[in-house]
Structure formats: C-alpha cells, structure tokens
Structure 1
Amino acid sequence: MPDLILLIDDDDSLRRVTGHNLERAGFTVRLAASGRQGLELFKAESFDLVITDVKLGDLDGLTVLAAIKERAPETPVIVITAFGSIDLAVRAMQEGAFTFITKPFDRETLRLACRKALEMRNLKLRNRDLAAEVDRLSGAEGMETANPAMAELLEVALRAADSEASVLITGESGTGKEVLARLLHRHSPRREGPMVAVNCAAIPPTLLESELFGHVRGAFTGAVANRRGRFQTAAGGTIFLDEIGELQPELQAKLLRVIQEREVEPVGSDRREKIDVRLIAATNRDIQAEIATGRFREDLFYRLGVILLEIPSLRQRREDIPALIAHFLKRIGAPPEVRFNPEALARLADYPWPGNIRELGNLVERSVILRRGAEIGPADLQLPAPAGAAGNSWLPELPPDGLSLEEVEKELIQKALARSGGNRSQAARLLRLPRHVLIYRLEKFGLN
C-alpha cells in the first residue's frame, strides 16, 4: 500500500504541482490549503508523512508541527520554507521537524527527502515493535502487579533504573529476578547497549574467572587465543550476575576490586582493561546469613547492594495470580477461548507455590496442552497436593507393612533435582539441606 502524505500549503499552484509530482513518484497525497484544514485532515486519517509550508495564511508551520507531534510523535514532518524564513525553519528542526527544504526546489530533492523521512519512520516503528517483543519474550510484561509490596518495589526499581548504581536483587528461586534485571536495563540510559547475563552457579568455579574477565593466550591449558570476558562484551550496557552467592571467596575478592577500580585483569595477563558497565546481581540465598557465616564478603555486599530490591514470593502476592495466568496464556499463544474457571483459580490461590512464578508458568503451559476443553478446571491442574491442605498431607500414607525411608528420601531428591533443572544448590535449598549434605546423599544413592 502506498505511503500516505499530507501536504499543507496555502499556495494553490505550488500545492497542486507538488502533489501531482509526489503521486507520480508513487505516493498517495491529501492536499490542505490551510493549517487548520491540514490539522482536521490529520485528525481524520493516519498519515505516514506531513509536508507543510512554514508560512501559512492562518497558522504558522511551528503551530502545525507542534500539534502533529503531540498527536503522533512518530510521524515525520518536512518543512518547506522561503529563503527569508530559514531561521524559522531551523527552529522547526529544533522542535522535531525531520528536515526543511528551501523554495524553489526540484522534484527529486523533495522525493529524496520523503523517502528518507519514511525510512526513518519505518525504522523507528520496527525498533518499537522489536522492543515490545523483547519485553514480551523476557516476561517484563509479567511484572505488572496488584500487590502493594510488589508495586512499591517496581516504583523503586524504575527510579533506580535511571542511575548507574549497582543493584542487588534478592528473592526465592522463580520469582523473576532476571526479569526485573532486564526491566532495569530497558529503562536505563544504557538501554541501547547490550544486556549480558551470567549464571554464576552454572559455570564451574575454575572457569568462572575466565568467563567473567577473559584470558590471554597460554594462560592455561586450552587457552589457544585471547578471549574477552563477559564484562568486556557488556561494554556500554549492563552485566547481570545471577546466583552471585555461589561465588568462591577468591573470586569475590577479585569482583570487589573490579567494582572499585572499574577495570578487569584477564587471566594470565599483567595488564588491566578499563570497563564501562552497569552491574546488577541477584541471589536466592539469605545473603545476611551468608555474611554471618563468613561465606560472603560483607564489603562486596555493600558494593553490590547500593540499591537492594527484594522480590516477594508468589505466596505473598496471590492477588497477582489471575493476571500472571493471562500473561502466560498470551505468551504461549493459547487460543483466546481458553480460560481457567473460578474453581481452578481458587485452587491455585491456595497452593503454596514453592517454585513461584516459574512454576506457575509451567503449570499454565501444561494445563493448556493437557486440557479437555476450552475451560480449564481443577482436574486439569495436576497440582502435587489438594489446595489448602494442612501440614504434610502431600506425604504418602504409611502402608500397614511399612515402607523404605531411603526410597522416599531418594525420590524426594530426584524431584528436587528435576524441579531445579539439575542445579544442586537450588535442589539443596528446596530440601532445606546444606549443599555438601545433598552431595553426600547423591553419592550415597548413586544419583551423580
């Protein structure tokens, strides 16, 4: 479909000739003989480009420009001006006009300006759509809330986003810490730069230093070439260190120096490199308890937690469950007629949600796949226990002839590993066990 251009000019002859030339170039053109007529047309239709004379009989071009930009900021405006009113045209540029063309002008000059303006508009629209899709895929839309504590947290986060201060996000596994980190990046001055995420628990401690800070050729066996670390690749943007509580003490000290000096030293190098990144970290550990036991440096905590954001668990914001379900239904592309009935929603409101929002997202997807009809009821949910069940009613009944406690323990460990995606630290937290005790039991049951 041809681009639609609004041409506003009070010179009848010039208006007709210019409109004719633009239509010959493949555009669709609407003509207006005055500023007020042009604005009326602009309100009635959606235009891709506006061309206006800076001197009109009833309104000046700056007034027309301001009205257009207020109504549709993405619409480019080309200003036509006589030589004597160039100062006015420059003011129009300062107030948002795409460019100005002085009279008299040839057809090709105007056509080229129109094509460039339309290309710029299309690029901005594509970037806006891409940003919206990134937010959708990253789950940022799911941060909307009806919970007062969560709303206050988001308000603080959006105020903090505009700063360069380090942020530490805490909360249980599955509460959306990375989603909040991406929201901070998207609303920060560094939004045009990269967002580099590193899961510190997923990388072996012996490799994590090289992964974060890079290495030089020959630094260790297998280092056949120089390699940039994640801090270097995040230059101009944000680095997100998830599971920061898993860092070994030696690496904690090196990270502290990086934050203080704003420079990294690649493994095997004696030269330091300046870095330009904003640091966001996250942990699902009780960081104060980790400090008290000496497992986490207090000075590093204060460097990371200039701004501290603690995300409430889903158990603490149950009123958000219906909105989150709607978000996940949209995200997985569920048919519009699919819905959770009131009985299912009541059941979900009573469930304790040990896996938080991540568990809810998995449940919504599973329920949509296995549903018997458009309406999802309690029978489609496949929750581990009846909602509102008291005590440890999820445990199996003890049969008359007894059962093997070791088999029950082994099965619980396997379920914790499955829920945590094989992450031993997360599985240990789900089972309320120290990590070394879980590793002992894994070896005991042959689950390595």
Structure 2
Amino acid sequence: MTARRVLIVDDEADMVENCARILRRSGLKCLTALDPKEGLALVETERPDVLLTDLKMPGMDGLELLRRAREVDPALPVILITAFATIESAVAAIKEGAFDYLPKTFSVDQLSLTVERALRQRQLQEENRNLREQLQEAFGLENLVGRSAAMVQVFELIKKAARSEANILILGESGTGKELVARAVHANSPRATHPFVPVDCASLPENLLESELFGHEKGAFTGAIRTKPGLMETADSGTLFLDEIAELPLGLQVKLLRALQEREIRRVGGTSVMDVDVRVVSATNRDLRESVAKGQFREELYYRVNVIEIRLPPLRDRLGDLKLLAHTFLKKYGRERFTGFEPDTLAALEAYPWPGNVRELQNIVERACALADGDGITLRDLPDHILSGGRRQEALPGRSAVVGVAEPLTSGADLPLKEAKERWMHVLEGSYLRDLLERHGGNISAAAKAAGIDRKTFHRLISKYQIK
C-alpha cells in the first residue's frame, strides 16, 4: 500500500524537521517546503493527502496558501499551525475551510492524532468518490439502452428529475425497466452515496409490510424478539423505492402519507418519533388516477408521490430500440461466442408484440444464447410463440406448426387503428398466455419466468383473460 503523503510548509527549518520526524514514525511520507510558493508548487505536482502549514510566513501567509491550495485540490485537508493562537485567528482559519488548527506548543500526540483524523477524512472522501463512480458505471444513464424518440425524452426527464429532491412516480407496463430507471435516478442524484432501498409493496401482507417499512420495537407483537429498524430508517439520507405502490393497502397508505408529510416515523409498538430524510421514488403498472377515482388509492398520497411523473413506453412503441436491446443482451449473455442475429431472426423478433416488454426480450435472448449451436442466433433458437408473431407460422423442420391469432380479427378489418390495435393485443395476449401455460404444464411460476414477468402480474393477466 502506498504511504500517505503529508506536505509540511513553514519558514522555520527546525519546525519543519520536527514535524517530519514525528509523522515519519507513523509511516507517513513527508514532503517539506520552507517557502509557501514552493509549497503551492508541490500541491500542484505531488497532490499530497494533507497540508500542514504555518499561519505567519513572509510573502504568503497560511490562509492565502490554504485558499490557493484548495483551488488546486478542493478536498485537500489543511491544518494550520501558529505561535499566535487566538480565538479570532482560529475562527478565521475554520471559516476559510481549514480542517483543524494547532498552536506551536502542540504535543507529539496532538500532531499525530490531528493528522490521522485529516487522513481519515481524505480516505472517506476518496471512497465516496469511488463509490459514486461505481454507481454511475453500474446504474448510470448509459446503462439505459434506447435511441427512439420516446426514450430520448425519458432520458432527458431522468437527468432533470435526478438533480432535484422531488418525489418521483414511474409508470409503465411490467418489464419496461421501472426499477432500473429508479436506480439511475438515485445514482445520478446528490443522494448517490447514500442507501437505495427497494420495497416490493405487492409481496408482503399489510401487517408485515408496516413492520418492514417503519420497523418495530421488541415485544410489539408475537415473534418480535428484538427491536428492528424499518426500511425508511435504513434509507435515511438516501432513496426509498416503493415498487408496485398501487398494491399498498389503504390503511398503510395513510401511515405512509403522514410519514412523508411530517418526515418522521414511529416504529410499530413504539411511542417516540424519529426524523427521517428520504427521497421517495415509486413505480406501478396501474393507472393510479383510475385507482384514486375508484377509492383504491388516496388522492393526497397520489399527489405526494407524483411530483414528477416518468412514463416508460412499452417495447412495442419504441421504434428502432428492439435491435439495439437484442444486441446488448446478446453481448451480455453470449460472452463473445456469437457474431450476431441472422436477418430473419431479427425480423421475427421485431414482428412480435412483446407483452412482457424488455424483460421478456432479455429472457428470450438469454435462452437463445444457452441453446444456440452455431456462431449466430437463428430462428431455431427462438421459442414457437415468438415465431408465430400473431400470424400462422409455417413449420420449420423438426418443429410443429403454430397456429396464430389472425383469424378472429379479420372481421375487424375496417376498425380505426387504435381500436384494431387494442383488439389484436387482447387476442394475442390471451393466446400467448394460454400457450405459455400449456407448454409449462400449468406451472404458473415457470410460465411467469418464461414470460419475463412476476408471478403476481401473471396471475392478474390470466384472471383478466379468464384462463383456467
């Protein structure tokens, strides 16, 4: 490990040598200068981890050196030393951004501990910067793939929304990438180095979800053998992501609304309140306005979580993005084994309406990469329901013919485009779900995984189409 470097600047040679001797015992590398201008040059060329400087020096005093050094390295911790220690000079030094202030009568321990604290701060700053860079790399906007006009608008809105502290509501069908957008918002926000805490509002019963969100005290209910902080506490100073917020029970909506309004929470079974500072990003595939109108979602909470609305388009409306996404997933799962997709394979992918959106496409490409024998993805590597694409598909050698769903729609040839599209989608989705369930022997978990959607959404869809 490279030794940390301390720059010592003083016009008294004895003071410089004494400080250097003390700090070298701690394994630190000491850079020294008897002239402040020489010291400033070392700041520019050597980039030390800490600057230790005298306050009173000819030509340039310590405060001026501090100001000019911080122009070169804004995060550099600066410790000022002087024989003329007064409260006024100490206050002036701290106001200028000094890390700490020592009289020249300091002890060996005082100097060592002060420099050690400054180095610890420097290390934390570097870790935070590295973490922010890693977050940007893992969840930055560059990881959201798309060049269509619809997605360009979404990217611009994400950039603007990330800079603010406003709560955000992300709307979109299942599989459109709502959590990925939420993580991108967090990674590009001032809260990026603080926690991102996701909560699946649809997966837990009301009593358990309340305990998860707000925490509980020991003995609050049967099984509460110890105090447990809630997820809102865990997300303090960061971002709380409420996935499927439309599934929140009404009783819990009231408590969440109060927590967001007052910025404080009370644990289940507790009496004291705790301040929390969280930015809430929510997501749903439902129409929350309709839920409000039906009394299923509180209007006050709707306006509280929906300060900025980001609406994600379904994959079928993202013209030109499918090919880009398919190649992105091929690179991820193919591990450079494949040269690409055959033209007719891409044509089949583009003809399919993708009810499971990007998640379903990702699932199909991963499957194709696992099954493909050659150096390119062919029609043989795609499942039958993709090949049907809403039409009657001729049988490929070794495959049975797949009946499409065009026949029921021929009578609607004179419908307006929007209505015809809705009828096509309705029939196609129903046919796709029946076929998927049949191919997986009625196993809903397996069928939902193949569709690239969660089990709860799959249940809702088969109920919608009355599939037994």
Q: Secondary structure at the match of 2:242?
A: strand
Deviates most, 304-313 or 188-197? 188-197
SS of equivalent residue, structure 1 residue 83: coil
Distance 1:236 1:418, change over 3 A: same
Is 1:427 matched up with 2:458? Answer: yes
Q: Which residue of 2 aligns with 1:167?
A: 168
User: Where in structure 2 are the equivalents of 1:358-373 lying within 5 Å?
Assistant: 358=359
8 Å Cα contact 2:141-2:155 kept in structure 1: no
Query: 2 CA distance for matches of 1:126 and 1:48?
Result: 14
Q: Which residue of 2 aligns with 1:80?
A: 81
1:386 shift after superposition: 12
Give, in whole Å, the separation in 2 of the partners of 1:100 and 1:218: 49
Q: Would you say the 8 A contact 2:368–2:382 is kept in 1?
A: no
Alignment of 1:2-401 (within 5 A): 2-83=3-84, 87-88=88-89, 90-133=91-134, 142-143=143-144, 147-160=151-164, 162=165, 165-185=166-186, 194-204=195-205, 207-212=208-213, 230-231=231-232, 234=235, 238-249=239-250, 251-252=252-253, 255-256=256-257, 259=260, 276-278=276-278, 279-291=280-292, 295-313=296-314, 316=318, 338=336, 347=346, 350=350, 355-356=356-357, 358=359, 377-378=376-377, 392-393=390-391, 397=395
Q: Comparing 182-191 with 278-287, which one deviates more in the overlay?
A: 182-191
Structure 1: gaps (5+ residues): none
Structure 2 CA distance for partners of 1:99 and 1:144, relative to 1, 3 Å: farther
Query: In the aligned structure 2, how far is the partner of 1:323 from the partner of 1:73?
Result: 41
Q: Residue 438 of structure 2 corresponds to which residue in structure 1?
A: 410
- CA shift, 1:274, in A, is 6.3
Supply the AA of the counterpart residue of 1:128. R
Task: Tell me the residue number matched to 2:408.
Answer: none
Normalised by the size of structure 1, how large is the TM-score?
0.70
Q: How far, CA to CA, are the matches of 1:85 and 1:380 in structure 2?
A: 81
Q: CA deviation at 1:421?
A: 6.7
Structure 1 pair 417–28 and aligned structure 2 pair: CA distance change class (3 A) = same
Q: Secondary structure at the match of 2:153?
A: helix
Question: Aligned letter for 2:99?
Answer: F
1:419–1:427 Cα contact (<8 Å) kept: no
Specify whether residues 422 and 378 from structure 1 end up closer, same or farther in structure 2 by C-alpha distance, changes over 3 A only: closer
Q: What CA deviation, in whole Å up to 9, does each residue of 1:207-228 have, x standing for no partner?
A: 4445445678888776677766
Q: Decide which moves more: 58-67 or 318-327.
A: 318-327
Amino acid across the alignment from 2:20: G
Deviation sequence 1:2-57 (CA, Å, 0-9, x none): 22222223334433444344445533222223222222223222322222223333
Name the SS for the 2:158 alignment partner.
helix
Following superposition, the deviation at residue 243 of structure 1 comes to: 0.4
Deviations 1:111-146 (A, max 9, x none): 333222222212332343345445555667635876
Tell me, yes or no, if the aligned pair for 1:55 and 1:81 is still in contact at 8 Å: yes
Q: Distance in 1 between matches of 2:51 and 2:230?
A: 48
Q: Which moved more, 1:71-80 or 1:273-282?
A: 273-282
Classify the secondary structure of the residue corresponding to 2:97.
coil
The residue number in structure 1 matching 2:422 is none
Cα distance in structure 1, aligned partners of 2:216 and 2:8: 59
Residue range with higher mean Cα deviation, 256-265 or 124-133: 256-265
CA offsets 1:95-125 (integer angstroms, 9 cap, x no match)? 2222222225454443333222222212332
- 3-state SS of 2:199 partner: strand
Cα distance, 1:67–1:323 mapped onto 2, change above 3 Å: farther
What is the letter of the counterpart of residue 456 of structure 2?
A: S
The 1:131–1:394 alpha-carbon spacing in structure 2 relative to 1, beyond 3 Å, is farther
Cα drift, residue 241 of structure 1: 1.8
Give the residue type in structure 2 aligned to 1:142: N
Normalised to the residue count of structure 2, the TM-score between the two structures is: 0.68
Distance 1:244 1:343, change over 3 A: same
CA-atom RMSD in angstroms: 5.0
Q: Flag the 1:43–1:144 CA change in 2: closer, same or farther, 3 A.
A: farther
**Structure 2: distance between partners of 1:401 and 1:79:** 80
* Distance in 2 separating the partners of 1:294 and 1:211: 25
- State how far apart, in whole Å, the 1-side matches of 2:109 and 2:256 are: 58
Q: Secondary structure at 1:57's aligned position in 2?
A: coil
Q: State the one-letter code of the partner of 1:121.
A: R
- Taking the aligned partners of 1:69 and 1:379, their CA distance within structure 2 comes to 59
Check conservation: 2:214, 2:230, Cα contact below 8 A: yes
Q: What is the rounded CA distance, in whole Å, between the counterparts of 1:270 and 1:19 in structure 2?
A: 54
How far is the alpha carbon of 1:417 from its aligned partner?
0.9
Q: What number of residue pairs does the alignment pair up?
A: 425
8 Å contact 1:385–1:394 — kept in the other structure?
Answer: no
Q: Give ranges in structure 2 of 5+ residues lacking alignment.
A: 405-430
